[in-house]
């Protein structure tokens, strides 16, 4: 959430950021209209409150002088009734201002490329050598089904479309990836592992920006809890409404979780395979840091996610997202895209974002630089380290062999105790 005071003080900055995102200017105008109504009503309330104070003094004086105060008392009664009504109106107007502020996306950083969609994303760097196959590489879903790793029919029987049952070596490979990623991030990169609930309340969803904007994308239970779309939600909310000592920053967390998304609006896209599912596993990296260090922390977090791909020897590229492709809560985002030989293109496997104080303001997450210092909002960052299913799919594609087998990346062999997955 943007600071309403900052929006009011510099609406042009918000207007320019909305334009860069390709978002409607009406989001800002609606806020300014609501804010103006609230300020006008606030002034009316304060004027009446001043009159009430004057009437109170007048009544006290009349009583001290033993004079008739009935007229002043009647006037005071009318003022009190009007103040009560205006107070109720103010509460509604204030809620409207907050509601309008909640749907305005974060201010984009100046370095974010200009562009209305992903076609304007800017390539930052590439890593790895794209393998030249001596045969036509098969898509991951075909390889996975042939090796008995995936069963989509059983998943459809259990849950419907966009689910998968992982079997045998498929389930083992998924677990190996989870353990490998956690080992790297907790060991080499210094993140603290946390296991958080997969069901959260509405306040948690609001704090990270999923509500109210993405209500249609979420699964909600009958008792008003939401299945998390990413561990970002529960991990970021660990410090909701807390004040963190500045000397303890940055805080770095890594968390494994299943993720649940309706994928509203995505039907017709990636209907085959395990790229776009309603339930999938992910390793999430979350940071809390000082405001002045968040740009550097984004670079560091992105490098940490890249390291997983490097150790797995999967070719990838890093893309800086254009304004029109940056997520609602983010100020800047890098996507990691891994190479898929069957499609001859790169596909997203991680998004690493700096949210500046946007989530912290919504969640009341503050820092204090000293005993007498005024609390200020921290900056939050997160990124996938990585999406496990997509990593599995990338391995099946990049490590497939002409005989139908799939080599196991060297970094995973100690977890699986095999060097290849062969047809049964």
Which SS3 state, helix, strand or coil, does residue 381 take? Answer: strand
158 exposure class (CB count in 10 Å sphere: 0-12, 13-18, 19+)? exposed
Where on the phi/psi map is residue 347: left (φ > 0), alpha (ψ -120 to 50), or beta? Answer: beta
10 Å Cβ neighbour count for 123? 11
> Rounded distance, CA 184 to CA 332, Å?
25
> Rounded distance, CA 260 to CA 263, Å?
9
Contact criterion met (CB below 8 Å) for 387 and 347: no
- Check if 362 is active-site: no
> Rounded distance, CA 214 to CA 261, Å?
10
Residues with Cβ within 8 Å of residue 312, at least 6 apart in sequence: 391, 395, 409, 411, 412
> Rounded distance, CA 95 to CA 230, Å?
28
Contact criterion met (CB below 8 Å) for 195 and 256: yes
Contact criterion met (CB below 8 Å) for 421 and 149: yes
Residues with Cβ within 8 Å of residue 273, at least 6 apart in sequence: 139, 140, 141, 144, 393
10 Å Cβ neighbour count for 126? 14
Contact criterion met (CB below 8 Å) for 412 and 396: no
> Rounded distance, CA 336 to CA 95, Å?
39
User: Choosing from 44, 94, 142, 348, which is the catalytic residue?
Assistant: 348
User: Choosing from 100, 261, 347, 361, which is the catalytic residue?
Assistant: 261
In this structure, what token pair is assigned to residue 370?
A: 């000293």
- Check if 159 is active-site: no
In this structure, what token pair is assigned to residue 61?
A: 């004086």
- Check if 351 is active-site: yes
Which SS3 state, helix, strand or coil, does residue 198 take? Answer: coil
- Check if 82 is active-site: no
Closest to 182 in 3D by CA, of 261, 253, 240: 253
Going by the DSSP 8-state scheme, the letter that residue 105 receives in this structure is P
- Give φ, ψ of 271 to 5 degrees: -75, -20
User: Choosing from 17, 329, 351, 384, which is the catalytic residue?
Assistant: 351
User: Choosing from 276, 317, 368, 369, which is the catalytic residue?
Assistant: 276
* Rg (alpha carbons) of the chain, rounded to whole number: 27
- Check if 366 is active-site: no
User: Choosing from 21, 100, 162, 390, which is the catalytic residue?
Assistant: 390
Catalytic positions, written as ranges: 261, 276, 348, 351, 390
């Amino acid at each position: 959430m943007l600071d309403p005071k900052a929006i009011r003080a510099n609406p042009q900055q918000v207007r320019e950021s909305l334009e860069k995102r390709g978002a409607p200017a009406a989001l800002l105008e609606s806020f300014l209209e609501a804010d103006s109504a609230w300020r006008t009503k606030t002034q009316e309330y304060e004027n009446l409150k001043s009159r009430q104070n004057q009437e109170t003094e007048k009544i006290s004086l009349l009583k001290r002088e033993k004079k008739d105060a009935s007229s002043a008392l009647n006037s005071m009664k009318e003022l009190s009734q009007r103040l009560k009504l205006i107070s109720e109106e103010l509460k509604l107007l204030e809620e409207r201002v907050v509601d309008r502020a909640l749907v305005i996306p974060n201010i984009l950083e100046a370095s974010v490329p200009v562009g209305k969609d992903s076609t304007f994303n800017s390539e930052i760097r590439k890593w790895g050598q794209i393998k030249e196959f001596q045969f036509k590489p098969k898509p991951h879903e075909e390889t996975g089904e042939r090796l008995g790793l995936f069963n989509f029919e059983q998943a459809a029987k259990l849950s419907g479309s966009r689910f998968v049952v992982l079997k045998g070596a498929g389930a083992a490979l998924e677990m190996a990836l989870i353990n490998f990623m956690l080992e790297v991030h907790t060991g080499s990169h210094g993140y603290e592992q946390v296991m958080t609930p997969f069901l959260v309340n509405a306040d948690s969803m609001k704090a990270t920006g999923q509500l109210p904007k993405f209500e249609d994308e979420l699964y909600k239970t009958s008792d008003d809890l939401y299945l998390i779309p990413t561990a970002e939600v529960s991990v970021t909310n660990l410090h909701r409404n807390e004040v963190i000592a500045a000397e303890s920053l940055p805080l770095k967390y890594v968390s494994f979780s299943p993720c649940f998304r309706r994928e509203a609006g995505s039907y017709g896209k990636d209907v085959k395979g395990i790229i776009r599912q309603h339930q999938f596993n992910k390793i999430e990296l979350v940071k809390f840091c000082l405001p002045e260090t968040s740009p550097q922390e984004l670079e560091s977090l992105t490098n940490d996610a890249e390291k997983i791909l490097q150790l797995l020897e999967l070719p990838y590229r890093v893309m800086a997202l254009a304004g029109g492709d940056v997520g609602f809560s983010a100020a800047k985002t890098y996507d990691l895209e891994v190479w898929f030989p069957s499609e001859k293109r790169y596909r997203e496997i991680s998004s690493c974002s700096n949210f500046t104080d946007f989530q912290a303001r919504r969640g009341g997450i503050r820092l204090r630089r000293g005993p007498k210092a005024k609390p200020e909002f921290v900056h939050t960052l997160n990124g996938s380290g990585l999406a496990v299913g997509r990593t599995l799919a990338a391995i099946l594609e990049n490590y497939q062999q002409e005989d139908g087998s799939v080599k196991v990346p060297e970094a995973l062999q100690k977890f699986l105790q095999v060097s290849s997955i062969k047809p049964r």
